[in-house]
Amino acid sequence: MTCSILVGGAWGDEGKGKCITYLCNNDKPSIIARAGVGPNAGHSVEFNGEKYGLRLTPSGFVHNGAKLMIGAGVLVNPDVLFKEFEDLKKYDVKGRMSVDPRCAIITEDHIAKDKSFEHLSKTIGSTGSGCGPANSDRVMRTIGLAKDVPELADYIEDVSLACNEAIDNGEDIFIEGSQGFSLSLYYGSYPYVTSKDTTASTFVADVGVGPTKVDEVINVFKSYISRVGEGPFPTEMTQEEAESKGLEEYGVVTGRRRRIGYFDMELAKESCRINGATQIALTCVDRLFDCARVQDYSELSAETKSFISDIEQETGVPVTIISTGPDLKDTIDLRKELL
């Protein structure tokens, strides 16, 4: 039995979707549970030559043998969820999905408020998905819950009970965090943050699993840093420099151009410490070094190995997953050797 949780190490966009897809397709957990804020976070998944942009469905959906669940701490927009049911019909996501009855529901009013509040839409750089106003209403105890939405009746299940029973039965479960550590309401670059905490501790609470039942915390870092929206960015490079390095990127939900920066070791150390990381997954190594599609650690250049070694020494956490391309097979998995 293993209960694993995956967390974004920086400001999101770290490549969590690729890592989750690889780990769930490889390890075959019985439950894949979504934690985090809600549909303001987008995960990119590329599988069998097809690309998907997800906002509520767990990125591990490609593992057809898993039940898919949305934890009580996640905000749900039924329209987004039902659209993903349709988009992912070939994977029977609709037939495998459960929503905790305690999930709070985003309404059109929340979305309208999100877009109308100038400090959110212009200063903070909100995605306009309604999550901030919805979380505000949840704190004020005025929001509707999933158990009261007739359209969700067929998908309601106690996610906490299901996850804990699976763990007690010796099954593997996987918890997906969304967004990134540096967007945490508590530990991020306030006020340029999201509307709740985004660390491992909150993600397990979102799903209703106690901390003593978590075995592995996988912190995902990109080999360079990116950020969508406003706020401090100590290692940021100019757009011209990013373009010269071929590092131009755009957000999954907003389509906005991402700001690009060099790897931030101080941020990595803090992120690993507060999340209690037991492993690091390092993505987009191929975009920083000449190692596209390399699948054997011994074939990495000395420069690439030195970069990885520096991260391990500074954070005290082993780099167990190295992504060298968008395809699942473009992955170096060192867990058997290092754990």
> Which residues are known catalytic residues?
13, 43
Handedness of CA 93, 252, 285, 277 (dihedral sign): negative
Q: With helix as H, strand as E and coil as C, how does the chain read?
A: CCEEEEEECCCCCCCHHHHHHHHHHHHCCCEEEECCCCCCCCEEEEECCEEEEECCCCHHHHCCCCEEEECCCCCECHHHHHHHHHHCHHHCHHHHEEECCCCEECCHHHHHHHHHCHHHHHHHCCCCCCHHHHHHHHHCCCCCEHHHCHHHHHHECCHHHHHHHHHHCCCCEEEECCCCHHHCCCCCCCCCCCCCCCCHHHHHHHHCCCHHHCCEEEEEEECCEEECCCCCCCCECCHHHHHHCCCCCECCCCCCECEEECCCHHHHHHHHHHHCCCEEEEECHHHHCCCCCCCCHHHCCHHHHHHHHHHHHHHCCCEEEEECCCCCCCEEECHHHHC
- Assess contact for 210 and 5: CB atoms under 8 A: no
CA angle 301, 278, 188 (to 5 degrees): 95
